[in-house]
A and B are shown apart, each in its own frame.
Chain A
């Protein structure tokens, strides 16, 4: 489909892009971030409403640069969910001022567009460009607390690591281009299926691409930026980083490796298996020692990525469903947890886990919600995180990856330590202060959405599974 024909199926992205520019310009005149945020939310809703329309004639768009299918739709909706929740959380984040609100929301919407494009990219070049777009926006958002050395340092480290990682990926993509003469995934897939891809160069090129995506998904050994960036970034942005780019990274991993490069991928499954085990173990073990909740959640998200990677290693239909369900659950519970962190830091000005002492007495509802999110992250039924783990382990067992499953469950026990540590401080210890701050409505709304989502996805996963089932590749 050429440009003119494609545009009408590109409407959701266009709406967001236009809204982004509108917010940027509007921000010059309107200095109320609540107004701008509401506008952004409206744009996101509109975009979501337009989405089904754009799938009526799903197919390759823009000369095969994009492939609009139900799989990409799923991840686009996840992206919009993430951005929507992050906007809601940002509205209640104390350190942000009204001053740069226009630019802030512009960047968030730009990130949304980039993620949506990335989710449907069907061309390695497009994947590279859209991932770079996500990264660049993320770097800037991480540095958004301009006067805060933590924020700046986090952004710079993130940037240096990320630039190198994408450079490596680019180098790998150039090899693939050299080997197949094209960067179009469908074409490459055809070539591979014709049996022309057994060279070492192809394998290494693939590995370099894997490395670049590992950076996005925070897999060992490309995870080192995660704790620093998560700790230093403004908390709503930490929520975004932990959910958005990771979800997209996995979407691309699945699309590239499992859909198109599957015959080549099988040779890599062993290495991916080792990566999965090391990722979850390292994340969990180091998280045990953390004193800062954002940093701890950073390590936890590394571990979570390890669990998700199990679904990827397995690579079956069930494995992919597990990845999708897990990511959905992960987005809800992780953003929920960070939303709680925002509210707590608003009142006590600290992210130190010890400062959460006695939160249940001070803020019972908040403590309860954070507990639910943490328990969901720990995989306690009947919450969404449990069902995600259940599907992941089911996929592993189905394909007889017993080692992987055992490593996974051992890790999910290890993980309980640090999640429960926070719960312990909240419920078992006495509060240091009884300060209660009014809680912004927007954050409450975000928390309620995440909370209901976590419960609903855990207790009644049927509609979610149906959605995922119809969104498979």
Chain B
């Protein structure tokens, strides 16, 4: 077993430190620092990958992190096929996207800051993949979330970007809270937090289910599954390489990775897996429908990502571990490719509305063709990588006996092919719909596109494929139907057919184009009430809690005549009642001191008489 995997995340972290501290002096060189670090990580990851294949899997301890009162927590790394595969994907895609970013971010003021964040992300993501326990995973999990936040609001001068970053962070954090509770519950029930122990925990099923579902909450947030998917489309406010790396290829896949990593927990009881499956299915379908009506090139891809992640969840949920993880890998390549192509297009035309583009294939050859390759891959056209993984998922769903889910998956596949080619046809073909001065991007951008395209084509062959002719046929048919429909709608019928359809199903269209009103519902049910609750709490705090015990302040603040006091008493009302009563005492007692000496004597003797009376009655 190889024992240097823990070095993989260190280089990007070092690059982050260098860039954040000396970024201003390094300027463009900071890109080289980051890319260099990624490349070293890639190299080590490759060695690990090969070593793993040769020496077998396992995990080893790196260092002690917590230790107190007989309790300790050691951090270690897991090296197994899943982590090795993901390490390779992340390092490869990450390195390529960073190279691409040199071109994309060329003119940005905060160039070095961008690469610093990218390195931080790389480090965190790699750490996440290598974690061998929940705490370590949670740490890096939040770390990638932070990078996501920082990079989404990288152009923070844009209010939308600032808001989107916050939305992403908080939405995922809601899921993370579930994860955290799950971790706490797991620890309190089993005293272990290591993944390697998940297989035989020896606790009852219902508790196990609860833990699994809580952990799944984290995955739902991170992988933008329904109902926490709302942040991902907004996250497209970030620079496109970020969208490609974080919000398509790697970070959002972490949720799927988490489920896969803790699969033992889910397998222990079937009810938790069903949840995963249905959440995945709903997400996949819902996002796909939204993607069909959206006009923003990046958002279409974002919904597509959500949909594909749902697909993976669905696969895992029905027990298709292999298919799910396989799709995780292939998706990383082709979705990164698609985003980078989209970025290249945006870079060229400075708009994201697809209906302002058109006919770009002619002007942007490299971008255009790689775009098409990506689209074919995602649509599931053989022999590109997407075909193999998607096909495997579909067959696994059917094999496990879930006809309803299979139906949803099939429809989703159809929709996927449709909206992808809607995009392709509208953007690359036809005539330009507005005045565009499109030009091909520089080589630093197109070369990574090429490499990714190659991966998108060939990644399907990284593992042996089982041929199931019938199933394959079905898959191909679905893809073809989707592409064909898109062709009919957007090439042949160009804008003739969609309009009547839209009118015919106006309610449906409205529902879908408004993203099922999920954001609005959250706004009304969660955000506004909690803001109002905060306001109420603040008012309660300053008026009631403070007021009731405000006797002190009141006494010291007010001094003066009885009249004045009376006014205040009337005006201030009930809240300061306690204070006022004391104040009244003070004023009244003070008035006892009339200055009239016989009053004094009278009071003294009155008191004396009372004392004697007490003694008389008490004594007998």
A-side residues, CB < 8 A to B, are 156-157, 160-161, 164-165, 168, 200, 203-204, 207-208, 211, 215, 220-222, 224-225, 227-228, 267-268, 271, 282, 285-286, 288-289, 291, 417, 420-421
Confirm or deny: B590 has a beta carbon within 8 angstroms of a beta carbon on chain A.
yes
Q: Are B589 and A204 in contact (CB under 8 A)?
A: no
Top-6 shortest CB links A-B: A221-B607, A224-B600, A157-B597, A285-B586, A286-B590, A221-B604
Q: Are A211 and B608 in contact (CB under 8 A)?
A: yes
A465 to B173, CA, bound (A): 63
Q: Tell whether A285 pairs with B589 under 8 Å between CB atoms, given A161-B600, A220-B607, A271-B611.
A: yes
Q: Are B600 and A289 in contact (CB under 8 A)?
A: no
Q: Which of B590, B600, B608, B619 contacts A225 (CB 8 A)?
A: B600
Q: Are A221 and B608 in contact (CB under 8 A)?
A: yes
A211 to B418, CA, bound (A): 104
Q: Are B619 and A421 in contact (CB under 8 A)?
A: no
Confirm or deny: B612 has a beta carbon within 8 angstroms of a beta carbon on chain A.
yes
Q: Are B597 and A221 in contact (CB under 8 A)?
A: no
Q: Which residue of B lies closest to A222 (CB)?
A: B604
Q: How far is the CB of B551 from chain A (nearest CB, A)?
A: 10
A420 to B557, CA, bound (A): 12
A207 to B613, CA, bound (A): 11
A211 to B609, CA, bound (A): 11
Q: Which of A203, A207, A224, A271 contacts B604 (CB 8 A)?
A: A224
Q: Which residue of B lies closest to A204 (CB)?
A: B612
Q: Which of B593, B599, B601 contacts A164 (CB 8 A)?
A: B601
A69 to B611, CA, bound (A): 33
Q: Which of B582, B600, B607, B615 contacts A204 (CB 8 A)?
A: B615
Q: How far is the CB of A61 from chain B (nearest CB, A)?
A: 34
Confirm or deny: B555 has a beta carbon within 8 angstroms of a beta carbon on chain A.
yes
Contact indicator per residue, chain B 402-414, by CB within 8 Å of chain A (1) or not (0)? 0000000000000
Contact indicator per residue, chain B 580-620, by CB within 8 Å of chain A (1) or not (0)? 00100111011011010101110110111001101110010
A200 to B612, CA, bound (A): 10
A312 to B599, CA, bound (A): 28
Confirm or deny: B72 has a beta carbon within 8 angstroms of a beta carbon on chain A.
no
Confirm or deny: B109 has a beta carbon within 8 angstroms of a beta carbon on chain A.
no
Q: Are A224 and B593 in contact (CB under 8 A)?
A: yes
Q: Tell whether A417 pairs with B601 under 8 Å between CB atoms, given A207-B612, A227-B593.
A: no
Confirm or deny: B552 has a beta carbon within 8 angstroms of a beta carbon on chain A.
yes
B-side residues, CB < 8 A to A, are 552, 555-556, 559, 582, 585-587, 589-590, 592-593, 595, 597, 599-601, 603-604, 606-608, 611-612, 614-616, 619
Inside 8 A of B607's CB, which chain A residues have their CB?
220-222
Q: Which residue of B lies closest to A291 (CB)?
A: B559
A225 to B589, CA, bound (A): 14
Q: Which residue of B lies closest to A164 (CB)?
A: B601
Q: Are A271 and B556 in contact (CB under 8 A)?
A: no
A-B pairs with beta carbons under 8 A, tally = 75
Q: How far is the CB of B609 from chain A (nearest CB, A)?
A: 10
Q: Which of B555, B593, B608 contacts A286 (CB 8 A)?
A: B593
Q: Are A421 and B587 in contact (CB under 8 A)?
A: no
Q: Which residue of A lies closest to B596 (CB)?
A: A157
Inside 8 A of A211's CB, which chain B residues have their CB?
604, 608
Q: How far is the CB of B458 from chain A (nearest CB, A)?
A: 78
Q: Which of A207, A222, A288, A420 contacts B586 (CB 8 A)?
A: A288
Q: Are B586 and A200 in contact (CB under 8 A)?
A: no
Inside 8 A of B606's CB, which chain A residues have their CB?
221
Q: Are B597 and A271 in contact (CB under 8 A)?
A: no
Q: Are A203 and B615 in contact (CB under 8 A)?
A: yes
A156 to B587, CA, bound (A): 26
Q: Tell whether A421 pairs with B556 under 8 Å between CB atoms, given A160-B601, A203-B615, A286-B589.
A: yes
Inside 8 A of B614's CB, which chain A residues have their CB?
271
A421 to B552, CA, bound (A): 12
Inside 8 A of A288's CB, which chain B residues have their CB?
555, 586
Q: Which residue of B lies closest to A200 (CB)?
A: B619
Q: Are A200 and B615 in contact (CB under 8 A)?
A: yes
- 24 of the cross-chain contacts (CB-CB < 8 Å) are A157-B597, A160-B597, A161-B601, A161-B604, A164-B601, A204-B615, A207-B608, A207-B615, A211-B604, A211-B608, A221-B604, A221-B607, A224-B604, A225-B600, A228-B593, A267-B619, A271-B611, A271-B614, A285-B585, A288-B555, A289-B559, A289-B586, A291-B559, A417-B555
Q: Are A271 and B615 in contact (CB under 8 A)?
A: yes
Q: Which residue of B lies closest to A210 (CB)?
A: B611
User: Can you name 4 extra interface pairs (CB under 8 A) apart from A200-B615, A222-B607, A225-B597?
Assistant: A220-B607, A221-B603, A222-B604, A224-B600
Q: Are B555 and A282 in contact (CB under 8 A)?
A: no
Inside 8 A of A208's CB, which chain B residues have their CB?
608
Inside 8 A of A200's CB, which chain B residues have their CB?
615-616, 619
Q: Which residue of A lies closest to B593 (CB)?
A: A227
Q: How far is the CB of B443 from chain A (nearest CB, A)?
A: 71
Q: How far is the CB of A103 from chain B (nearest CB, A)?
A: 26
Inside 8 A of B608's CB, which chain A residues have their CB?
168, 207-208, 211, 221
Most buried by B among A204, A208, A288, A291: A288
A285 to B584, CA, bound (A): 10
Most buried by A among B595, B599, B611, B619: B611
Q: Tell whether A228 pairs with B595 under 8 Å between CB atoms, given A286-B590, A288-B555.
A: yes
Q: Which residue of A lies closest to B608 (CB)?
A: A211
A222 to B611, CA, bound (A): 12
Q: How far is the CB of A41 from chain B (nearest CB, A)?
A: 36
A228 to B593, CA, bound (A): 9
Q: Which of B582, B600, B611, B619 contacts A285 (CB 8 A)?
A: B582
Q: Are A417 and B556 in contact (CB under 8 A)?
A: yes
Q: Which residue of A lies closest to B615 (CB)?
A: A203
A164 to B606, CA, bound (A): 14
Q: How far is the CB of B378 from chain A (nearest CB, A)?
A: 71
Inside 8 A of A207's CB, which chain B residues have their CB?
608, 611-612, 615
A271 to B597, CA, bound (A): 25
Q: Which residue of B lies closest to A272 (CB)?
A: B611
A204 to B609, CA, bound (A): 10
